[in-house]
Structure formats: structure tokens, C-alpha cells
């Protein structure tokens, strides 16, 4: 199986010790986001975890403890944008903290296993196309040699972030303008030795140098593990999403990054309330088992293709 840690919250930044404790215990529980009393028990044996995909805006709290992964293959989706603290309230200084953290992590894992995400991209009076191009170029220059790939995406509106986005007076240019903008990002990425790709975009940007990509990437996982991975497309994601199946072990309404565009938390207040239930020894992230919860064992297995050799007598 492939673990996603996590689309729903920043586990490396805030919950890395809990995660390592669960690896030591060999299992964890995950609530069904739709039916909260439905709880899955998931085994965390190195024999069945093919790869872990971490998502973070600041994985520094985890970087010094990667040996605790017990040799399980992994890679990071590391988001570094040009937004200030008016948009990403609790993210440390990009120049002084975040970019050095990216460089350190890349030095430990290798530049192909730390994917730079510049997303989501939105535009308003403060964050214009010109601003994004300048910020992107600066970050790309700082990450030259530390990242082989950059993933971009344009802002999507969800129920959880609609009000915040309206307060930011966001707008989206016409298709032609976005194509031209994406082409300029591609030039900056290529100048710094990086592949650039778009995630879950309905527009085909390949004509301006931006390939289609995905986050839970079977080809990358096969390169990392040296094995063919028999994984299907993730049916729980949007049609445009190219990710293969994975198990997300996060919990909504627990991320304290405070990003205005966040789709995974209703508000900073709701995340703060949830995090009051964060216990290092609980199998559940930011929760404990309650009356009415029903725990079932989720059937998991390795997705690696197992080839049998022929023995000649």
C-alpha cells in the first residue's frame, strides 16, 4: 500500500512524533471523514508499506528523524509559495527558514524525492502575475540543484475555502492569459534545471512547456522502490487527478498552518479545537475512540509486483 501523510493536514510539521509512534506500534486508526464513527485499523508493517508520500509546508520537525522510518521508501511534496503571512499565517520566514529546510531535506533524500510545489496559485491586487513570476523565479533560483521537479496548480474553490477566497477578492484570468503565464513559469523552471508540471488541471498546458503530473506518482514510486507497482487510479479524487490509489492517514480540521486558501480546515479556531485532542499515544490523530465508534480492520497489502523465477534442474 501507499500511505499519504497527508492531503488533510501537515503531519511532518505538527504530528511527526505521533506518526513515528504509530510506526513503532505497527498500526493506527483513521476516521472516515464522511462517517466519523466508522474507524479503520491500518497495519503499518514495513513489509506492506510500499512508499510514504509526505505533504508539508515545513517538514523541518521531521527531517532529523528520518531514520525512524525503518527504511520505508518515501518522498515529500514540499509546498513553497511566494505568499506572505497575510495568506499563510503560521509559515516561518521563507528565505531564512523554509528554503534552507528544503535544501537540508533534499540533501538527505536526494533532489528527485523532494518535489517543489508552487500551489495553489491565485491572483488579486497584491498577488499579481508579475508578483508570482518574481517570487517563482527567486525560489527556483534558491532551489536549483535541490529540486528536479516543480508542480503547479491554479486555485480551486471548495465549500471550506469559498468565504476566505471571496474576502481576498481573488480572480482568475482568461485561458489565454493563464497559458502565457504558465509558459513563463516553465521558462523559469527550465532555466534552473527543473521539470515543471501541472496537477489536476483541466487545461492542457503541454504546448507551453508544462506537462501533466500527479502527486501520488506511480512512476516515481517505481523508481524509488525499484519495483513495478500494481496500483490503479485513485477513484476518490477528481477526474483530472492522475494519482494512483493510496490510504490517507490524516484528519481534517487539524492543520495549524493557517492558510487562507485551505480546503482541509474550516478555520483556525476549528483546527485549534481539534488539536486539543492531540495525544502522542492515541492510535487516532487528534482524537480518541468514543462511544458508538466501530473499528474494522482495513485489508491492506503490498502493491509491488512479485515475480517468481524458474528454477532449472
What pLDDT is stored for residue 241 in this prediction?
Answer: 81
What pLDDT is stored for residue 237 in this prediction?
Answer: 80
Tell me the average pLDDT across 186-206: 93
Cα–Cα distance between 20 and 24 in angstroms, integer?
6
Q: Tell how strand 247-248 and strand 2-5 pair up.
A: parallel
What pLDDT is stored for residue 163 in this prediction?
Answer: 74
User: In this structure, what DSSP letter does residue 284 have?
Assistant: S
Among 111, 85, 96, 99, residue whose Cα is nearest residue 139: 99
pLDDT digits (tens, 9 = 90+) for 48-87: 999 999 999 999 999 999 999 989 999 999 999 999 999 9
Identify the band that residue 158 occupies on the pLDDT scale cut at 50, 70 and 90: low
- The yes-or-no verdict on residue 262 having pLDDT over 50 is yes
- The yes-or-no verdict on residue 225 having pLDDT over 90 is yes
CA 10 to chain centre: 8
CB 118 within 8 A of CB 138: no
Cα–Cα distance between 45 and 296 in angstroms, integer?
17
Could you tell me which residue, 173 or 29, shows the higher pLDDT? 29
Q: Given its phi and psi angles, is residue 11 left (phi above 0), alpha (psi -120 to 50 degrees) or beta?
A: alpha
| Furthest-apart CA atoms within the chain: distance in Å | 75
Among 144, 4, 23, residue whose Cα is nearest residue 75: 4
Identify any residues that bridge with 28 across adjacent strands, giving them in sequence order.
42
Query: Counting Cβ atoms within 10 Å, is residue 148 exposed (0-12), middle (13-18) or buried (19+)?
Result: middle
* φ/ψ of residue 55, rounded to 5: -120, 130
What pLDDT is stored for residue 244 in this prediction?
Answer: 93
- The yes-or-no verdict on residue 311 having pLDDT over 60 is no
Most trustworthy range by pLDDT among 184-193, 225-234, 269-278, 302-311: 184-193
Cα–Cα distance between 158 and 264 in angstroms, integer?
10
Among 216, 154, 146, 155, residue whose Cα is nearest residue 185: 154
Cα–Cα distance between 87 and 124 in angstroms, integer?
12
Q: Tell how strand 27-31 and strand 38-43 pair up.
A: antiparallel
- The yes-or-no verdict on residue 210 having pLDDT over 50 is yes
What pLDDT is stored for residue 29 in this prediction?
Answer: 98
Q: Is the peptide bond before 152 cis (omega within 30 degrees of 0)?
A: no
Helices (H), the chain: 11-14, 16-25, 60-63, 99-109, 129-142, 162-167, 175-191, 218-225, 268-275
CA torsion sign for 76, 82, 88, 91 is positive
What pLDDT is stored for residue 313 in this prediction?
Answer: 35
* φ/ψ of residue 27, rounded to 5: -165, 165
- The yes-or-no verdict on residue 236 having pLDDT over 90 is no
Give the chain's mean pLDDT: 93
- The yes-or-no verdict on residue 157 having pLDDT over 70 is no
Cα–Cα distance between 210 and 153 in angstroms, integer?
11
User: What is the Cα Rg of the chain in Å?
Assistant: 20
Tell me the average pLDDT across 141-163: 86
- The yes-or-no verdict on residue 112 having pLDDT over 80 is yes
Identify the band that residue 312 occupies on the pLDDT scale cut at 50, 70 and 90: very low
Cα–Cα distance between 27 and 285 in angstroms, integer?
12
- The yes-or-no verdict on residue 249 having pLDDT over 80 is yes
Identify the band that residue 161 occupies on the pLDDT scale cut at 50, 70 and 90: low
- The yes-or-no verdict on residue 309 having pLDDT over 50 is no
Tell me the average pLDDT across 248-255: 96
Among 156, 158, 170, residue whose Cα is nearest residue 266: 158
Amino acid at each position: 500500500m501507499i500511505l499519504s501523510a497527508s492531503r488533510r493536514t501537515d503531519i511532518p510539521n505538527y504530528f511527526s512524533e505521533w506518526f513515528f509512534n504509530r510506526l513503532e506500534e505497527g498500526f493506527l486508526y483513521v476516521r472516515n471523514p464522511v462517517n466519523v464513527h466508522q474507524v479503520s485499523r491500518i497495519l503499518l508493517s514495513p513489509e506492506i508499506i510500499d512508499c510514504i508520500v509526505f505533504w508539508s509546508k515545513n517538514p523541518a520537525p521531521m527531517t532529523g528523524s528520518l531514520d525512524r522510518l525503518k527504511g520505508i521508501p518515501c518522498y515529500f511534496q514540499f509546498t513553497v509559495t511566494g505568499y506572505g503571512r497575510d495568506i499563510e499565517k503560521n509559515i516561518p520566514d521563507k528565505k531564512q527558514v523554509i528554503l534552507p529546510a528544503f535544501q537540508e531535506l533534499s540533501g538527505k533524500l536526494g533532489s528527485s524525492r523532494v518535489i517543489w510545489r508552487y500551489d495553489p496559485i491565485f491572483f488579486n491586487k497584491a498577488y499579481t502575475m508579475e508578483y508570482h513570476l518574481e517570487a517563482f523565479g527567486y525560489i527556483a533560483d534558491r532551489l536549483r540543484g535541490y529540486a528536479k521537479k516543480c508542480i503547479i496548480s491554479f486555485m480551486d474553490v471548495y465549500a471550506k475555502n469559498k468565504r476566505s477566497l471571496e474576502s481576498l477578492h481573488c480572480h482568475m484570468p482568461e485561458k489565454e492569459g493563464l497559458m502565457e503565464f504558465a509558459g513563463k513559469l516553465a521558462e523559469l523552471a527550465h532555466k534552473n534545471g527543473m521539470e515543471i508540471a501541472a496537477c489536476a488541471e483541466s487545461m492542457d498546458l503541454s504546448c507551453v512547456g508544462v506537462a501533466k503530473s500527479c502527486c501520488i506518482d506511480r512512476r516515481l514510486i517505481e523508481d524509488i522502490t525499484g519495483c513495478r507497482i500494481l496500483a490503479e487510479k485513485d477513484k476518490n479524487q477528481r477526474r483530472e487527478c492522475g494519482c494512483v490509489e493510496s490510504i490517507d492517514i490524516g484528519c481534517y480540521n487539524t492543520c495549524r498552518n493557517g492558510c487562507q486558501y485551505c480546503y482541509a480546515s474550516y478555520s483556525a479556531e476549528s483546527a485549534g479545537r481539534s488539536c486539543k485532542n492531540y495525544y502522542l499515544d492515541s492510535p487516532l490523530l487528534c482524537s480518541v475512540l468514543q462511544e458508538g465508534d466501530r473499528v474494522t480492520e482495513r485489508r491492506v497489502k503490498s502493491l509491488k509486483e512479485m515475480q517468481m523465477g524458474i528454477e532449472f534442474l
